Amino acid sequence: MAKVVEVDTGYHPRPLQLSIHQALRSGGSDGCSRVRFACLAIHRRFGKSVLSINELIDECLTSEKQNPRCFYMAQTYRQCKSIAWDYVKEFTRNIPNMKYSETELTAIFPMVTKMINGRKVQSQAKLTLLGSDQFDSHRGIYCDGLVIDEWGNQAPAAWKEVFRPALADRKGWVIFLGTPNGKNHFYRTYQEALATEGWYAQTFRADETHLIDEEELKSMRETMGDDEYRQEMLCDWAAAIKGSFYSSHMNRCHDEGRVTRVPHEEKLPVVACFDLGIDDYTAIWFVQFFNSEIRFLAYRDFRDTGLLDVLREVESEFRYYSISELWMPWDVGIRELMTGKSRLETLEDQGYKVEVAPKLKIIEGINAVRTILSKCWFDSVECQIGIDCLENYRKKTNSQTGEFMDTPVHDQFSHGADAMRVLATLHHDSMGNRMRPIGQRKSAQTFMPKVKRAVRL
């Protein structure tokens, strides 16, 4: 019989942490002994990273599966290393024969013998920390346990395209957790968890957990300001997003009922507005114009996909749209060194009618977007990811002073916002004029294509 060694990992959970561990083991659907899907909104300084790492370590140690694989996912590799890697080593150091890969941020547990399906097998568990910014490199893996930390700051595609399939065959589990940051995909996951049988959802507010005393909370509120305090400490989904360029404008869209179902009008042409990416996302808004209204029918983004491949996917999904024009950013006209041709020339050769946005300062484009948002109607279902982009498009913070700068953060939300800037700078104003490059005459716009007939995709 295999020798059993008892090890004190050094983790002694607080009562609220213990309550979460127990709730997750209360039994779930699909005949599993634990809850498979959980979503937790947790205030700062609760200890969610310590809780998460120890939940994953426990899975590695107690799983009845052969070679269990567990993952902790933050937004970037650097965040994993600074937030969680020391915790992994701290709470596994008393386990005999542990090994660590510093480059891959992987803890390799000792080889053990298990009885699986009536036979003895050798099994070795691994716990890996990874960043969702490189999620494509993990396609094809299997996963028995996953924690997605600060889910609202990560790309939804990491879950949909890579990790949800990875859980399927071995019935793995996932915990989404973080501190609310607006009503984005984290918020929708939480609402889904509340409404779905078998899910576990819970909110932990600082004024209810009593982990931080009232005097300290009062001082924090005075220092942080009301919006930031409500978001970070009270887990308020409705608190304004710090440094958001369009937060007040998008709130007005919601309040006035302009985020709703928007029908496609067959008699009107559709314009596709792009932000282009090669090793990044290509984002597209599909828009119709009627009188002063700007009607957003759908939003899509594509990762690591060539432009012509993107257009083929658009043709397949939106074959019932009569797309009259493609509105592109100014850099579509830059020639590639390898081919000697620009993407604009490639599109023209394919027969597309293209309008090219002028090269403006970013803040000029942002201001252009602000001027049109009062005219915009967004489809609440087909544009949801794009709406997230607009609501979470925010300013960088000066690391020295802590003040906001006019420069936007570049993350998964910036691509949809950049495509919106293309639309705003090409949209006719009430005088029939278009935005044009700073310091240039209207006739000086570069890379404008010859007029070609509109084509039906």
pLDDT string in tens for the chain (457-residue length): 456 678 889 999 999 999 999 999 886 555 567 899 999 999 999 999 999 999 999 999 999 999 999 999 998 889 999 989 999 999 999 999 999 999 999 999 999 988 888 889 999 999 999 988 877 778 889 999 999 999 998 888 889 889 999 999 999 999 999 999 888 889 999 999 999 999 999 999 999 999 999 999 999 999 988 888 999 999 998 777 888 899 889 989 998 999 999 999 999 999 999 999 766 789 999 999 999 999 999 999 998 888 889 999 999 999 999 999 999 999 998 887 777 788 999 898 888 999 999 999 999 999 999 999 999 999 999 999 999 999 989 998 876 776 888 889 888 889 999 999 999 999 854 335 555 443 333 333 332 333 333 333 3
Residue 125 to residues 83, 116, 164, Cα–Cα distance (Å):
22, 15, 20
- Report the pLDDT value the prediction gives residue 32, as an integer from 0 to 100: 61
**Phi, psi (degrees; rounded to nearest 5) at 48:** -70, -30
Note the pLDDT of residue 429: 43
- The helix (run of H) or strand (run of E) holding residue 239 is none
Q: Looking at domain 15-204, which of 3.40.50.10470, 3.40.50.300, 2.60.120.330, 3.40.50.1390 is its CATH number?
A: 3.40.50.300
What pLDDT does 227 receive? 84
Closest CA to 254 of 145, 133, 383, 71: 383
270-275 and 281-290: which strand pairing?
antiparallel
Q: Where in the chain is the domain with CATH 3.30.420.280?
A: 250-444
Close Cβ partners of 145 (under 8 Å, ≥ 6 residues apart): 55, 56, 59, 60, 63, 68, 70, 71, 172, 173, 174
C-alpha pair distances (Å), 182 with each of 49, 135, 179, 274? 21, 23, 10, 25
CA distance 30 to 37: 11
pLDDT score at 456: 36
Q: Which residues make up the CATH 3.40.50.300 domain(s) of the chain? A: 15-204
Please tell me the predicted confidence (pLDDT) of residue 99. 96
Pairing of strands 395-397, 69-74: unpaired
Identify the helix (H) or strand (E) that includes residue 395. strand 395-397
Collapsing DSSP states into helix, strand and coil, what is residue 238? coil
CATH class of 250-444: alpha beta
Q: What's 111's DSSP letter? A: P
Residue in this structure with the two tokens 């959970």, named with its chain if needed: 13
- Bridge partner residues of 289 (DSSP): 294
DSSP assignment of 262-318: ----TTS-EEEEEE--SSSEEEEEEEEEETTEEEEEEEEEEES--HHHHHHHHHHHT
User: Half-sphere exposure of residue 234, counting CA atoms within 13 Å on the CB side?
Assistant: 18
pTM: 0.73
Which residue in the block uniquely carries the two structure tokens 């994993």? 80
Q: Residues 73, 148: contact at Cβ < 8 Å? A: yes
Q: For residue 428, report the phi and psi dihedrals to the nearest 5 degrees.
A: -65, 135
